[in-house]
Structure 1
Amino acid sequence: MTLQDSHIALAHGNGGRYMRDLIEQVFARHLGSETLDTDADSVPLTLPGDRIMLTTDGFTVQPLEFPGGSIGSLAVHGTVNDLAVSGADPLYLSLNAFIEEGFDVARLERIVADIGRAAAQVGVSVAAGDTKVLPRGEGGGLYLATTGIGVSRHPDALAMSEIRSSDVLLVSGPIGDHGIAVMLAREQFGLRGDIRSDAACVLPLTRALRGVPGVRFMRDPTRGGLATVAHEISRATDLSIALDEATIPVRPAVQAVCDMLGYDPFYLACEGRVVAVVAPETAAQALAAWQDLPGGTDAAIAGTLGGNAGGGRVTLRTTVGGERFLEELEDDPLPRIC
C-alpha cells in the first residue's frame, strides 16, 4: 500500500492528484488488465459472436465484509451470474465506486483486491470504471455499481415464454445461506454463527446445462429468494407452481436461525445458486449434470409447474403433508443484503 492517506478525503474525488493516486495505487493496481486504461474516457472491446448480452447492477450490502465474501467479490459474482443464467459467457465488467469521505483506505484496498481475485477466477476483465467520493454522512461507506458484457452461448432460447405446464423447477443447492450469513454478521440480535454466504460464480452450473435439451429458463434467486423467482415465473406464465418443502435443501443452521427470528428461508437471498425450469423428460439429466459439480452436489427438484385454472399461484407442500400459499413478497425482511 503506497497511498499516503489512511482514510478517504473529498480531495480523492476532485479529479486532481489525490484522485489519480487513488485510482492508480488502489484500483488499477488490483484490477489492471489489457483493456483497462485509466486515462481514457472509453475503451475498445473485442466481442466475438452476434448475440451480445448486457447487464447492470448495484450493491449496497451491510456489512461490507461478511463470512464468505465482501461487497467486492459480491459485485463480480452478482454481475457475472446475471449473464450466466441468461446463457452467456461473461467477458468484461465496468465498475463504479461511490466512497464515503472518511472511509478506511486499508479496508478499501481489501475490497478492491477481492474484486480483482474474483474477476481473475471467473476470467473476466474490469475494462472501465469510475470513482466518486460522497461527503461524510451521505453514504453507507461504500457502494458499487457494475455493468457486465458477455456473449450468449446457450444453444436454445432461455425465456419465461418457453416455459410449459408440467415443467420441473430445479434449485442448484441450499437456499438462504447468504441472507442469514449477512444478517449474523450484523450482530443485530446478539447471535453469532459459522454460516457462510453461498456467494460464488454460477457459470459452471449454467454451462453444464448447455448440453441438456429442454432447459427453458434460468434465474439466480437473489433478493426475495426462491419464492420470489417462483412468483415471477407464475405471473409471467399464468401457471401455478407447487414447491416441495421436503426436497428443497435448507441447511439446519439456517433453518434454526429462521425459526428463532421468524424468517422464512424461501424468501432469503442466495448469491451462488441457480433456479432452472426444465422439461420433465430431461429434468433428471439436468439434475445429474449439476450434482456432478462441486457447486451443485446438493441440487434438487424444487417443485413443478401446473395448470392455470384460476390463474397462477405459488404453493408449498409442507413436510407434514399440508399445503400453504407463499404470498408475493412485500416488506423486505433483510434490507441491504446485496
Structure 2
Amino acid sequence: MNTLHATFTRALDLHHGRVDLGFGAGGRAMAQLVAELFARAFANDYLARGDDGAVLPAPAPGERLVVSTDGHVVSPLFFPGGDIGSLSVHGTVNDLAVMGARPLYLTAGFILEEGFPLAELARIVDSMAAAARTAGVLVVAGDTKVVERGKGDGVFITTAGVGALPAGRDPGGARARPGDAVLVSGGIGEHGMAILAQREALAFESTIVSDSAPLNGLVEALYGAVPAAAIRVLRDPTRGGLATTLNEIAAQSGVGIELEEGTIPVAAPVRAACELLGLDPLYVANEGKLVAVCTAEAADALLAALRAHPLGAQAACIGAVTADPQRFVQIRTGFGGRRMVDWLAGEQLPRIC
C-alpha cells in the first residue's frame, strides 16, 4: 500500500458505495480506498510510511524468524462467530503460534469483485483490524486488486505473517515419540459446522458458533507451564479436522497414534448436526483449537495450563503416540473395539476457510 498520502475532495461513500474497477487500477480511486479504509483500520507507524514494503525491527538476540501465508475464500463471508476478516487474521496468527513463534506482523492482499458493497467491505476490514489488535499483531503492508463482476465471489483475502521464535522452542510434526500424550484444547468441529449451517440455512435447536480465535496467548501459556523440550508438536486442526492433522503427525514422525473415543470433546449441537448430516466430527474443520503432543510427564501440567485459559476450558488428553511402522491412527471405541481413522478422502466441506 503505497498510496496513503493523497488528498481527496469527497470522502468515500462507505454506506452506499460499491467497489468499481477503478479501485484496482492504481490511480486516485485506489489511493482513496487505501487511505480511507485500509490505512485507517490498520493504522501503525510502519504502514503510515506508505512505501512498497515495511522495514521492521529484528527479533531479540537468539530468536529466529517464522514466516507463514494463507488464503481465505470462506463462503459465506459472515457467519456465527466471525467473518472472512477476523478469520484471515486468526488463520495466519495460529499458523505462526503453533510453530512456537510470537506473531508480530501481517501483510494482507485483497481480491475484490466489482460491485461489492463498500459497507460490507468496511465491516470486514474493521473486523480484521479488531482481530489483529486482540492478537497483538500489526498489519504493515498489503495490496488490493479488483476483478470484473461475476469473476470473483465478493472478497478473497491472502495474509502472510512474520513471527519471532524464542530460543529453545522447536515444535515440529516429526518430533512425536512413542509414549507421548496427545492433547486437544477443546471441542472439535465447531467452525466447519457453523459455516455449513449458515451456508445451507440449516436451523438447529442451538446455534453453532465458529471457534475462530487467535491461539498465540494459549501457546504462550503452554510454554510457561513446562520446559520447551517437553512440547513435541503443536498443530491447529483446520481443513480435514483432527483426524487429518493426526495422520499428518503420524506420517511425519513415523509413529502410530491411538485415540480414546470417549475422551474427545464434541459439543452436543455439533455432534447432533454431524449425526443428522452423516458427517464425522473428527474430519470437520476447526479455527480456534490446537493439538499438542507432549511427553507423558508434561501432560498434566499442560492440561492444567490449557484449562486455565478461556480458549482451553474443555481441553482433554485424547490418546497416546505408539510405536507403529505402519503409521496408523486408530481409535478405541466405547464398545471396546478399534477402528481406523484414515486421511480425509476428497473435500468434505469446501470453502470453510
TM-score, reference length from structure 2: 0.92
Q: What's the offset of the Cα at 1:153?
A: 2.4
**Residues 197-216 of structure 1: matches in 2 within 5 Å?**
197-211=210-224, 212-213=226-227, 214-216=230-232
Q: Describe the SS at the equivalent of 2:194.
A: helix
Q: What's the offset of the Cα at 1:38?
A: 6.7
Distance in 2 (CA, whole Å) between partners of 1:126 and 1:178 is: 24
Distance in 1 (CA, whole Å) between partners of 2:209 and 2:313 is: 17
Letter in 2 for 1:23: V
Q: Is the 8 A contact 1:226 1:267 kept in 2?
A: yes
TM-score, reference length from structure 1: 0.96
1:302 paired residue among 291, 305, 318? 318
Distance in 2 (CA, whole Å) between partners of 1:209 and 1:178 is: 23
Letter in 2 for 1:3: L
Q: Describe the SS at the equivalent of 1:254.
A: helix
Moved more, 68-77 or 40-49: 40-49
Distance in 2 (CA, whole Å) between partners of 1:287 and 1:183 is: 30
Moved more, 47-56 or 181-190: 181-190
Letter in 1 for 2:248: E
Q: Is the 8 A contact 1:31 1:126 kept in 2?
A: yes
1:145 corresponds to 2:158: yes
**Residues 44-55 of structure 1: matches in 2 within 5 Å?**
44-49=55-60, 50-55=63-68
Distance in 2 (CA, whole Å) between partners of 1:91 and 1:156 is: 17
Q: Describe the SS at the equivalent of 2:262.
A: coil
Q: What's the offset of the Cα at 1:235?
A: 0.9
Distance in 2 (CA, whole Å) between partners of 1:209 and 1:176 is: 23
Q: Describe the SS at the equivalent of 2:47.
A: coil
1:315 paired residue among 312, 321, 330? 330
Distance in 1 (CA, whole Å) between partners of 2:199 and 2:87 is: 17
Q: What's the offset of the Cα at 1:11?
A: 1.1
Q: Show the counterpart of 2:5.
A: none
**Residues 108-147 of structure 1: matches in 2 within 5 Å?**
108-147=121-160
Q: What's the offset of the Cα at 1:278?
A: 0.5
Q: Show the counterpart of 1:164.
A: 177
> Could you list the runs of 4 or more consecutive aligned residues of structure 1 that deviate by over 3 angstroms after TM superposition?
188-193
Q: Show the counterpart of 1:43.
A: 54
Q: Which runs of 5+ in 2 are unaligned?
A: 1-9
1:15 corresponds to 2:26: yes
Q: Describe the SS at the equivalent of 1:194.
A: coil
Distance in 2 (CA, whole Å) between partners of 1:143 and 1:175 is: 26
Q: Show the counterpart of 2:339.
A: 324
Q: Show the counterpart of 2:249.
A: 233
Cα deviations across residues 167-208 of structure 1 (Å, max 9, x unaligned)? 111000000000001111112556685111000011121111
| Cα-Cα RMSD | 1.6
Q: Describe the SS at the equivalent of 2:258.
A: strand
Aligned identity (percent) is 45
Paired positions, count: 337
Q: Describe the SS at the equivalent of 1:308.
A: coil
Q: Describe the SS at the equivalent of 1:246.
A: helix
1:3 paired residue among 9, 12, 18? 12
Letter in 2 for 1:295: L
Distance in 1 (CA, whole Å) between partners of 2:337 and 2:32 is: 62
Q: What's the offset of the Cα at 1:39?
A: 3.2
CA gap 1:245/1:132 in 2 versus in 1, 3 angstroms = same
Q: Describe the SS at the equivalent of 2:150.
A: coil
Distance in 2 (CA, whole Å) between partners of 1:154 and 1:38 is: 32
Distance in 1 (CA, whole Å) between partners of 2:49 and 2:78 is: 27
